Amino acid sequence: MKRIAICTVLAATILVAAVVSLTTAAAPEGKANLGKLRHVVMFKFKDGTTPEQVKSIEDAFRALPSKIPEIVDFEWGTNNSPENKADGFTHCFFLTFRDDAGRAVYLPHPAHKEFGKVLRPHMEKVLVFDYVANE
């Protein structure tokens, strides 16, 4: 009987853990990220920037999360909107920081400054918009 009791307690504990983790997993992404600081960066490159140069800028930006742990999430893509309202911007990089403190580390970070050197010769314009995620 003692083994059955231990086994039952074990099963109950695991069940509670499973329910808790399933509840967490089931939360929509938006809910999970409410309150986090989103950092939206868009680029338009200068005429004459080659595909290889664009690729090198993409790769340099994509390398930043491995160098700056305050970037807690990172994704990017190129514009495919059919609405023709992107004002010439072709690239969007979407970074997430936990809070202002994460951004305060990121902005002056040496790796970020190095990226700027790769970008700057080819950049025609940039847009940066930061917001705290609300639902």
Active-site annotation holds for 109: yes
Of the candidate residues 17, 67, 99, 121, the single one contacting its own copies (CB under 8 A): 17
Is the Cβ–Cβ distance between 85 and 76 less than 8 Å? Answer: no
- CB of 53: closest distance to its own copies in angstroms? 18
The secondary element (H helix, E strand) that includes residue 123 is strand 123-132
- 15 makes contact with its own copies (CB under 8 A): yes
Task: Report how far residue 23's alpha carbon sits from residue 26's, in angstroms, rounded to the nearest whole number.
Answer: 5
Binding mask 18-47 for its own copies (x = CB under 8 A): x--xx-xx--xxx-xxx---xxx-x-----
Q: Point out which span in 48-56, 74-82, 110-118 binds its own copies (CB under 8 A).
A: 74-82
Task: Report how far residue 131's alpha carbon sits from residue 4's, in angstroms, rounded to the nearest whole number.
Answer: 53
Of the candidate residues 48, 85, 108, 110, the single one contacting its own copies (CB under 8 A): 85
Total Cβ atoms within 10 A of residue 117: 9
Q: Point out which span in 16-24, 49-57, 108-116 binds its own copies (CB under 8 A).
A: 16-24
Closest CA to 63 of 112, 25, 16: 112
Of the candidate residues 60, 63, 123, 133, the single one contacting its own copies (CB under 8 A): 133
Q: Point out which span in 48-56, 86-94, 115-123 binds its own copies (CB under 8 A).
A: 86-94
Task: List the beta strands (DSSP E) in 70-122.
Answer: 73-78, 91-97
Is the Cβ–Cβ distance between 96 and 73 less than 8 Å? Answer: yes
Q: DSSP 3-state assignment of 133? A: coil
Residues at the site binding its own copies, with contacts judged by CB under 8 A: 3-4, 7-8, 10-11, 14-15, 17-18, 21-22, 24-25, 28-30, 32-34, 38-40, 42, 62, 72-83, 85-87, 89, 92, 94, 96, 107, 126-135
